[in-house]
Structure 1
Amino acid sequence: MISKIKSFFNFKTKQSLVLVLLVLIGTKINAQDNRSFQIFQFPANKIPTIDGNSDDWKIVPKNYAVGMDQLWDDSGKQPKADPKNLDVSVKVGWVKGLNRLYFLYEAYDNYWDFSQPGLHNDTFELIVDADQSGGPFIDRFHPNPSLTNTMDAYFSYHGVHAQNYHIFTPAVDKDWTMVWGSQPWIKNLPYANASYHYDFKPGQAGKLTLEFWITPFDYAGNDPSRAIESILKENRNIGLCWAIIDYDDVNKTENNGFWNLSKEHKMYGNASYSLPFKLMPLEKQFKKEIEAKWDFKVVNMTKREVAFIDESEGEISTWNWDFGDGTTSTQQNPTHQYKEAGKYVVILKILGPKGTSQLSKVWDVAVK
């Protein structure tokens, strides 16, 4: 009887330990997921020029900046951030209609280490998983053990559904970034561009400004003709993460800190540890109080049937469509059937408490 009681308590103790472990693991995972960030939408007439000058970014509110207060040194070498040692700010932007992510990286370092030709270089390591597919994406993390650390996995898997940019800060006598995967073409125009501004030499202190943009991909293999760009849409989240690798002595092989935005060190090869960044709408000061916008889709070319889609912004009371063939509609999203083939000038007029707006498109709508 006594042995049965002992067995029962041992079983309950093990259950409790398992429960505690699960709670701790869950706490770590939840800690990874409880933060989110924003990506600033640049107006189409204020797209940043990639010249290493941060003036274009003055319109970005301060709340978009991600600083050292969001990073932690998961190497354990630096117990807390010290702005006299390293101070970093990152802003991310986008432009509606372009599948590009713009970055402003500003950093002060008390010792800039960039004199060697290899990976021993102060680095901004960026992870992009724009469709939030998640999961491991480098060859050493391949779920099939027979493919782990193989060239087959490198070419077919590494960096394909998420990308890792190992950006040198600064890059001297080397390309601006190493793309960790078999798709180095993504770091060049027309897929990316970068520019620096700094006035220090190796081993000196100073401030660096790095401006760049990249194109995220849902699929990016060795062959660019098969690549699929990520489609960036307003109010959607994408997966991003980064780390700052800080070297402070050219004679030391190890870094002086791995400042990670993620709570998980292996974020560099597992997109599940990225963080949600929201593609924000235009800030209020860049919006018109009322603006007519519209698009269309040919529903049936044989019947010359066209669906018109209102995309106007602002508070709207009435819509007035002129289809260019002598007919009109006051519906918000009308469908119209043209009697004759032709190219038409279509006009949308809207009215609201803040005024009126009109948009015409010349010969966009054509039916045969």
Structure 2
Amino acid sequence: MLFQCWSQDTRTFKVFQFPSNKIPTIDGKADDWKMVPENYTVGMDQLWEDSGKHSKANPKNLDVSVKVAWVKGLNRLYFLYEAYDDYWDFSLPGLHNDTFEVIVDADQSGGPFIDRFHPNPALTNTMDAYFSYHGVHAQNYHIFTPAEGKDWTLVWGSQPWIKELPYANAATHYNFKAGESGKLTLEFWITPFDYAGNDPSRAVESILEENKNIGLCWAIIDYDDVNNEKNNGFWNLSKEHTMYGNASYSLPFKLMPLEKQFQKEINAKWTFNVIDKNKRTVAFINHSEGEIESYKWNFGDGNFSSEKNPVHEYKEAGKYIVVLDISGPKGKSRLSKIWDVAVK
């Protein structure tokens, strides 16, 4: 089977944005994902079986589709994993288990991130590297499908706390027994981290922002015989087998804006920063959406502005009701914030 080298892989994938009022419930069902267009689906046609055991995908043996999503304002990645397998291997308590292995490098820092790949040979495969380096700047989730009688995932590193609430959640639906065929639906979300060591108090979440690319990749490890330690396939989204421990081999996934049918034609939105407490100076930042022709700010103290991003100095201490009215060819919109803006 012919593979291109990683540097020639120019594919970019999309991460669907759920509207804030349609966040999926983690129940192992695909109902909440019906709104996601098919062009967000990553199927078997995007994967390489890089152990040479299969020349091409056979849906009678294994058929997998994955959708990834996010919600603006939440540093979470949502996944829907749907898979048919002709032999589900999950009866053993250890690592031998059909697996969906996900790596995430949300700030695209790149580079190796497991102990055996440590750039310092003196630290390779050491516990020092495991605790200070393994899974710290990028994370590997070894997700068991299904996880019967075991944790839903192995977090490959010294930070097992990231697989629990409030950092992750998962649910699976299936009706087959070990060794049988059937369909599995796995639904989960994870929190990506720029820094995630053994101590959660020092962790730094990755900030997810619209139109930003994140590094993401996965592989499906397919076992077909509980008596055989070797798997029957390693289906990889990356063209480099060692993507599981090197974030440079992840692929760019773009955090997409809302699809057009979920967007308001005009929508007033704004935030503020107090930039000088002594002078009671406040900067107002417009985040409004749509085609906008005019802005009208009411600062709540008898003063107004038609600027897009005004800076206002309050003469007196107090709590203020600040209103932004916008208008354009598609209509009008208003956003009022009551007593959020307070100066002393």
Q: When the two structures are superposed, what TM-score results if normalisation uses the length of structure 2? A: 0.99
> 1:101: Cα distance to partner?
0.4
Does the 8 A contact of 2:6 with 2:240 survive in 1?
A: no
Q: Aligned to 2:65, what secondary structure does the other structure show?
A: strand
Task: Provide the rounded CA distance (Å) in 2 between the counterparts of 1:334 and 1:151.
Answer: 54
Q: Pick from 28, 43, 47: which aligns with 2:5?
A: 28
Percentage of pairs with the same residue: 79
Tell me the C-alpha RMSD between the 2 structures: 1.1
Q: Pick from 327, 334, 341: which aligns with 2:317?
A: 341
Q: Aligned to 2:308, what secondary structure does the other structure show?
A: coil
Q: Aligned to 1:175, what secondary structure does the other structure show?
A: coil
Q: Aligned to 1:266, what secondary structure does the other structure show?
A: helix
Does the 8 A contact of 1:292 with 1:357 survive in 2?
A: yes
Q: Pick from 223, 245, 257: which aligns with 2:233?
A: 257
Alignment of 1:222-233 (within 5 A): 222-233=198-209
Q: Aligned to 1:204, what secondary structure does the other structure show?
A: coil
> 1:28: Cα distance to partner?
1.5
Task: Provide the rounded CA distance (Å) in 2 between the counterparts of 1:338 and 1:227.
Answer: 38
Residue 154 of structure 2: aligned partner: 178
> 1:299: Cα distance to partner?
1.2
Task: Provide the rounded CA distance (Å) in 2 between the counterparts of 1:102 and 1:291.
Answer: 26
Q: Is residue 2:120 matched to residue 1:148?
A: no
Q: Is residue 2:195 matched to residue 1:219?
A: yes
What letter is aligned with 1:87? D
What letter is aligned with 2:57? A
Q: Deviation digits for residues 122-141 of structure 1, max 9, x if unmatched?
A: 00000000000000000000
Q: Aligned to 2:189, what secondary structure does the other structure show?
A: strand
Does the 8 A contact of 1:31 with 1:263 survive in 2?
A: no
Alignment of 1:123-134 (within 5 A): 123-134=99-110
Task: Provide the rounded CA distance (Å) in 2 between the counterparts of 1:105 and 1:205.
Answer: 16
Task: Provide the rounded CA distance (Å) in 2 between the counterparts of 1:327 and 1:149.
Answer: 65
Task: Provide the rounded CA distance (Å) in 2 between the counterparts of 1:349 and 1:179.
Answer: 48
Task: Provide the rounded CA distance (Å) in 2 between the counterparts of 1:269 and 1:283.
Answer: 33
Q: Is residue 2:192 matched to residue 1:243?
A: no
Q: Pick from 253, 275, 284: which aligns with 1:277?
A: 253
Q: Which consecutive segments of 4 or more residues in structure 1 shift more than 3 A? A: none
Q: Is residue 2:180 matched to residue 1:204?
A: yes
**5+ residue gaps, structure 2:** none
Alignment of 1:1-368 (within 5 A): 28-32=5-9, 34-368=10-344
Q: Aligned to 1:59, what secondary structure does the other structure show?
A: coil
Q: Deviation digits for residues 101-154 of structure 1, max 9, x if unmatched?
A: 000000000000000001110000000000000000000000000000000000
Does the 8 A contact of 2:6 with 2:238 survive in 1?
A: no
> 1:30: Cα distance to partner?
2.8
Structure with the higher helix share, 1 or 2: 1
Does the 8 A contact of 1:135 with 1:271 survive in 2?
A: yes
Does the 8 A contact of 2:159 with 2:199 survive in 1?
A: yes
> 1:307: Cα distance to partner?
0.8
Does the 8 A contact of 1:264 with 1:273 survive in 2?
A: yes
Q: Aligned to 1:233, what secondary structure does the other structure show?
A: coil
Does the 8 A contact of 1:77 with 1:256 survive in 2?
A: yes
> 1:29: Cα distance to partner?
3.1
Task: Provide the rounded CA distance (Å) in 1 between the counterparts of 2:174 and 2:187.
Answer: 12
**5+ residue gaps, structure 1:** 1-23
> 1:31: Cα distance to partner?
2.4
What letter is aligned with 1:248? D
Task: Provide the rounded CA distance (Å) in 2 between the counterparts of 1:164 and 1:310.
Answer: 38
What letter is aligned with 1:322? N
**Which structure is larger by alpha-carbon Rg, 1 or 2?**
1
Q: Deviation digits for residues 276-326 of structure 1, max 9, x if unmatched?
A: 000000000001100100111111110011111111000011000000001
